[in-house]
Amino acid sequence: MTIDQVRILRGNTFVVSDDRGDIEASAADPTGLFSFDTRFLSRWVLTINNQRLTALSTDDLQYFEARFFLVPGTGTVYVDAKQSVIRQRSVGNGFREVLAILNHADDPVDLIVRIEAACDFADLFEVKDALEKQGTYSTQVEDGRLILSYRRETFARATVISSSEPSQLDQDGLTFHIQVAPHESWRTDLEVTISVPGAGREEPFILAWQSQRAATDMAQDLQRWLDEAPRLECEWEPLRTSYRRSLVDLAALRFSPITAGGRSLPAAGLPWFMTMFGRDSIFTSLQVLPFTQELAATTLRELGLRQGTRIDDFRDEDPGRILHEMRYGEMTAFEERPHSPYYGCADATALYVVLLDEYERWTGDLDLVRELEYEARAALNWIDEYANLQGNGYVAYRRRNEETGLENQCWKDSWDSIAYHDGRLPGFPRATCELQGYAYDAKMRAARLARLAWDDSAFADRLEVEAAELKRRFNRDFWVEDGEFFALALDADGRQVDSLTSNNGHLLWSGIVEDSKAEIVVRQLLGERLFSGWGIRTMAVGAGRYNPIGYHVGTVWPFDNSFIAWGLRRYGFKDEAAIVAAGILEAAQFFDGRLPEAFGGYPRAMTKYPVQYPTACSPQAWSTGTPLLLLRTMLGLEPVGDNLVVDAALPMSIGRLELLDIPGRWGRVDAFGRGRVDTRQSTRPRDGLGRE
């Protein structure tokens, strides 16, 4: 059970404690100090004269620091304390905690201040699954430091604890015998440092790098981040709140891989997914391109450096494939999990090429397009050579690591997300429809890059021919005639997996939908089976597996909706894009501007508010990016040559909107719009298009 957890973080180093600042982790309880997917502190409990403390208040000052105001004692109705205690904690290479005790009495007071410390060095995967450790622990007291260590063969991790004031150290913690004068205070600085004991003279690189990193001024860094973002002026206050929230959360979600020289890419979610994910890092980079472009550049470089080069069944790796997830913990190190990195992801490879092109359209950075030509060609080659598992030219997936690999390698990755209308599950390989859209888009965009930067018009011609052929076949093979929508997938026998899903919206975004089918697809997306009034459901009401609180079979995902809105714009359905944007942004109000990963698919008229789907991770990167992409779609921002075209279609409720200093190849420009699309009718579920 967890009560009022407090979380602070910096990159993939984070602390989760209770509201007193204490950590009392059990095998499966996810509190502690974590770094590089390993728990470096599982017990950190403060007592004064053998008594626990009570929290008066807790301040999350910033995402990287917190302050706890406490009094000694627990369980009393009235707080009648003669002392108060302040713990201020900030994350660095581990964390630093300033512990201050204030004596409010007229007499001096003698106190025994005790901090118990211990560590289980659990891998994040072990915390999830409560697995047994195989290595050995040791504890040392030396040179005024308490050192907690763990070793399994050559794998070694340690936590070093020290204090600025002298303390008695023992195997289980630190004790201070102090006297505090009347109306005076006492303070000590506690340092908890993560380390890798040298296996020789040179330290293994990862944590050594972490500890050598200069402790930059994080507050200053956050301010600079906010200052560099475009400024939003808007009459509708909830949008200003969402925008500000997204920018701050995006700052917290930045993750700097060891090879990135301090540059950052978006991690997938905070705190448990603070690592590189192919799909999440790419989608988030795409969402935020109009606001910041450095995340996309780093994502492209770092994913490129780790692109697959060989066939490795355990990691589901193929040449050219873009990774799914990277982890650094013990289970990954000993190959009990395949995340070093794991490649079981069927969409990131095409999306990698899509991001490279979209990035160039915003920045004009041809150097990066040239630098990554090899990677882009390898990615395109993967689509044709390694993803054609059904032998029919469509991108499909089937894991080769059957123990710890992922079954569903598309964004809807839960076990029952890919189902026929009658609820049955297809066999493998599965060719989901959006994968074909991404492949089409990747080929079309790569053709542009081949002419622009790679001086290879023959390659460009070939890609365009292939893309046109793919589009033609796709519109024939995936179109469900009697339902008038695109099937979710083709099964291993080439039969349609015929449920109606939000994936149709991603198809609009990719451009693979023939113009003659676009309007009917839009009608489906905004019809009452898919549109809840808050947003478009992952799966339509009436499908066999539909469940308004099923993870990928009925909930509404804000990120999904943001790309669907982009797709609606792509095909000219501006008002419909505004309706989707309005629903999601109005939902955000119920979460203080921070959109959850998903919320229930209940009709808006029924629940009046969006019912949050319970998830451990918040903020989630692509939910954080959603308001930013919706701003783009509402304003109709589109780079055309060296100019930014603005073609606003805003919900009436938003009123006047200004987005100032949008960065790009044009320098900085401003965009304006005024709400004119009446989206109120569409908040009631009904058939048909929500046109004015």
The CA distance from 490 to 243, in Å, is 39
Tokens 């893309």 belong to: 467
**Cβ-contact 575, 649 below 8 angstroms:** yes
Closest CA to 499 of 426, 390, 411: 426
How far is 151 from 502, CA to CA, in rounded Å?
Answer: 48
Residue among 224, 276, 236 nearest 255 (CA) = 276
The residue (of 96 and 473) whose beta carbon lies closer to other proteins is: 473
Question: Of the two residues 391 and 614, which places its CB atom closer to other proteins in the complex?
Answer: 391
CB of 512 to other proteins, least distance (A): 22
Strands of the sheet with 431-432, listed across from one edge: 431-432, 489-490, 496-497
Q: Judged by CB, which is closer to other proteins: 494, or 688?
A: 494
Complex with other proteins: residue 429 or 596, whichever CB lies closer: 429
Task: Give alpha helix (H) positions in 93-185.
Answer: 124-129
Which is nearer to other proteins, 85 or 449 (by Cβ)? Answer: 449
Give bridge partners of residue 536 from the DSSP assignment.
Answer: 531
Nearest C-alpha neighbor of 540 from the set 550, 134, 301 = 550
- Please state, in angstroms and rounded to a whole number, the distance separating the CA atoms of residues 121 and 133: 9
C-alpha of 594 from chain center: 13
Distance between CA atoms of 327 and 335, rounded to whole angstroms? 11
Q: What's phi and psi for 274, nearest 5 deg?
A: -80, 70
Nearer to other proteins, 150 or 440 (CB): 150
The residue (of 388 and 475) whose beta carbon lies closer to other proteins is 388
Q: How far is the CB of 494 from other proteins (least distance, A)?
A: 7
* Cβ-based nearer residue to other proteins, 73 or 197: 197
Residue matched to tokens 């080659």: 381
Report the amino acid identity of residue 680.
R
Least CB distance to other proteins at residue 153 (A): 7
Nearer to other proteins, 222 or 425 (CB): 425
- Closest CB 320 distance from other proteins, rounded Å: 11
Question: Which of 273, 490, 512 has the alpha carbon at shortest distance from 391?
Answer: 490
Tell the smallest beta-carbon distance from residue 167 to other proteins (Å): 31
Neighbours of 508 (CB within 10 A): 28
d(CA 558, CA 542): 21
Q: Which residues lie closer than 8 Å to 9 by C-beta, 6 or more apart?
A: 15, 63, 64, 91, 252, 270, 271, 274
Is the Cβ of residue 87 or residue 430 nearer to other proteins in the bound state? 430
Q: How near is the Cβ of 374 to other proteins at its closest, in Å? A: 6
Contact between residue 648 and residue 630 where contact means Cβ atoms under 8 Å apart: no
Residues in touch with other proteins (CB under 8 A): 153-156, 196, 199-200, 202-206, 209, 258-259, 305-306, 309-315, 317, 328-329, 332-335, 340-341, 371, 374, 388-391, 398, 400-401, 426-429, 491-494
DSSP string computed for 392-403: SSS--B--S-TT
Closest distance between other proteins and the C-beta of residue 337, in Å?
10
Residue 645 Cβ vs other proteins, minimum distance, rounded to whole Å? 34
* Least distance between other proteins and beta carbon 204 (Å): 5
Q: How far is the CB of 527 from other proteins (least distance, A)?
A: 31
